[in-house]
Chain A
Amino acid sequence: MKGFAAIIRRELKLAMRQGSDAAIALIFFVVVVALFPLGVGPEPGVLERISGGVVWIGALLAAMLSLDRLFQADHEDGGLDLLVMAPWPLEVLVLAKCLAHWLVTGLPIMLISPLLGLLLHMNTEAYFTLLAAMALGTPVLSLIGAVGAALVLGARRAGVLVSLLVLPLTVPVLIFGVSAVEAAAIGQGAGPHLMLLGALLLAAIPLCPWAAAAALRQAVT
């Protein structure tokens, strides 16, 4: 798909040249997680028990930070009109935007998460599961987030609004993501949890672009 590749290339170029959005999300993630040992105290037992949840909540909040810009810049400069007039399905365009967003924010968050697990004394057994759960879960965050980002176009304080809209919808990702990590940490199989995360991703891939595309069409009228 020529158009799909064109969107990805442009988004990555823009992210590299004005890379503050992605860097801010990543630094925010590190700072939030790093605050927990300071707040909860350095007892390894406590930190180890909550490590999965802390890393996941940090990832959720960090992903929210960059979401409102997903379509906002195009909406402001008039490019969104032209994007909506795509000679190919708008849903595919949204999917391309989500993939680019994930590459720029989700992937770095995923890659750095084991390091933050280390900071929280996470059981080393769970690192691989954490990576796998993040690999399945963070794309869902980008996809659900795209629906929120498309819905809030034109609203005042869109950044806050998009978090309020999207965070409740990410609860299933949080639940299964954390249970996968905890199951692995106590030596149980994380398979079922990862499969449920995979199912969420498979459901989000067609449904979220469809909903976001409808919201984008509404935003340009």
Chain B
Amino acid sequence: MDQAGSSIFRGDAVSCVRGARRVFAGLDFALRAGDALVLIGPNGSGKSSLLRLMAGLSAPASGTILWGGVDIAADRQGHGARAHYVGHATGVKPALSAAEDLGFWSAFRLHGNPRAESRALEDFGLTDRAGFPVRFLSSGQKRRLALARLLAAPAPLWLLDEPTVGLDREGQAALESAIAAHRESGGIVVLASHVDVALGGSADELNLADYRAALVDSAGDIWSEFGA
């Protein structure tokens, strides 16, 4: 990973604290248009925490995350518009139909393009389920519906936290071709996954276990909070 000025999305010395625990520290990343970054590391190494930091949902304990040189914390709405976050919980509403749910998020993100929505449903194989209430969809289909938002309302930055959970082979193939097309058009993908996902080209890997060293160094701080 180079630190060249051409990088759009970068983090400088980012560290994350959850509760009293330092999850990782001193983490750098730099991504240019069309780049993909795969977060690897054992459970609890902070992959989801890093994705939430990148989404602007939580703030780093120290360090900064920048988009185009501007701290994302200083431009919440701008970052919300450019980032798609797909987390473990899908946020789909059981009482809405698949098309209504997708249509809501698309309008919410100020796109609301019915043609793009129906194409997104088609790409994720949900066309024949469009009118179904979401409560009748399987968990894999709900996941597909959450991923269809990526296509219905385009945004340059995709933050995907274990996006393949519950997906069948066909669903994963749909995700992979969406990622490849997204990168081709200059989009950035950050993905945390325990299964191999083809990213349509080379991708950087960031092993969060490498940034845990700080955890050992600061163990004294952690225990001092408990009076030890």
Seen from chain A, the residues whose Cβ lies within 8 Å of a Cβ on chain B are 2-3, 5-7, 9-10, 13-14, 17-18, 74, 76-90, 220-221
Q: Which residues of A contact B112 (CB under 8 A)?
A: 2, 6
Q: Which residues of A contact B81 (CB under 8 A)?
A: 87
Name the one of B59, B93, B108 contacting A14, with C-beta atoms under 8 angstroms.
B93
Check A85–B57 contact: CB distance below 8 A: yes
Check B80–A78 contact: CB distance below 8 A: no
In the complex, the chain B residue whose C-beta lies closest to that of A10 is B104
Supposing A13-B96, A77-B93, A221-B59 touch, asked if A86 and B77 sit within 8 A by C-beta, the answer is yes
B222 → chain A, closest Cβ, in Å?
20
In the complex, the chain A residue whose C-beta lies closest to that of B18 is A221
Check B110–A2 contact: CB distance below 8 A: yes
B205 → chain A, closest Cβ, in Å?
25
Q: Which 10 A-B pairs have the closest CB atoms?
A: A78-B89, A79-B91, A87-B81, A6-B107, A221-B58, A85-B80, A17-B95, A78-B91, A87-B80, A10-B104
- Give Cα distance in the complex from A86 to B90, angstroms: 16
Q: Which residues of A contact B110 (CB under 8 A)?
A: 2-3, 87-88
- Give Cα distance in the complex from A181 to B88, angstroms: 51
Q: Which residues of A contact B52 (CB under 8 A)?
A: 81, 221
By size class, the interface of chain B is: 20 to 34
Fill in one digit per residue for B12-35: 1 if any A CB lies within 8 Å of its CB, else 0: 000000000000000000000000
Q: Does B109 contact A (CB under 8 A)?
A: yes
- Give Cα distance in the complex from A85 to B76, angstroms: 7
- Give Cα distance in the complex from A45 to B109, angstroms: 57
Check A86–B91 contact: CB distance below 8 A: no
What is the predominant secondary structure among interface residues of chain A facing chain B?
Answer: helix
22 contacts between A and B (CB under 8 A): A3-B107, A3-B108, A3-B109, A10-B93, A18-B95, A76-B89, A77-B90, A78-B87, A78-B88, A78-B91, A79-B93, A84-B80, A85-B55, A85-B56, A85-B80, A85-B85, A86-B77, A87-B80, A90-B76, A220-B57, A220-B58, A221-B57
Q: Which residues of A contact B77 (CB under 8 A)?
A: 86-89
B78 → chain A, closest Cβ, in Å?
8
In the complex, the chain B residue whose C-beta lies closest to that of A221 is B58
Q: Does B211 contact A (CB under 8 A)?
A: no
A121 → chain B, closest Cβ, in Å?
41
- Give Cα distance in the complex from A84 to B83, angstroms: 12
Check A85–B89 contact: CB distance below 8 A: no
Q: Which residues of B contact A76 (CB under 8 A)?
A: 89
Supposing A85-B80, A88-B77 touch, asked if A77 and B92 sit within 8 A by C-beta, the answer is yes
Q: Which residues of A contact B123 (CB under 8 A)?
A: none
Check B109–A87 contact: CB distance below 8 A: yes
Known: A3-B110, A78-B90, A79-B89. 19 other contacts (CB 8 A): A6-B107, A10-B93, A10-B104, A13-B95, A13-B96, A14-B93, A17-B96, A18-B95, A76-B89, A79-B91, A81-B57, A81-B91, A84-B80, A85-B80, A85-B85, A86-B80, A87-B77, A87-B109, A221-B59
Supposing A14-B96, A88-B77 touch, asked if A6 and B104 sit within 8 A by C-beta, the answer is yes
B214 → chain A, closest Cβ, in Å?
21
Q: Does B162 contact A (CB under 8 A)?
A: no
A156 → chain B, closest Cβ, in Å?
18
- Give Cα distance in the complex from A157 to B90, angstroms: 24
Supposing A77-B89, A77-B90 touch, asked if A82 and B95 sit within 8 A by C-beta, the answer is no
Name the one of A10, A82, A87 contacting B96, with C-beta atoms under 8 angstroms.
A10
B58 → chain A, closest Cβ, in Å?
4
Check B96–A7 contact: CB distance below 8 A: no
Residue picked from B85, B107, B108, most chain A C-beta under 10 Å = B108
Check A86–B58 contact: CB distance below 8 A: no
Q: Which residues of B contact A84 (CB under 8 A)?
A: 57, 80
Check A82–B56 contact: CB distance below 8 A: no
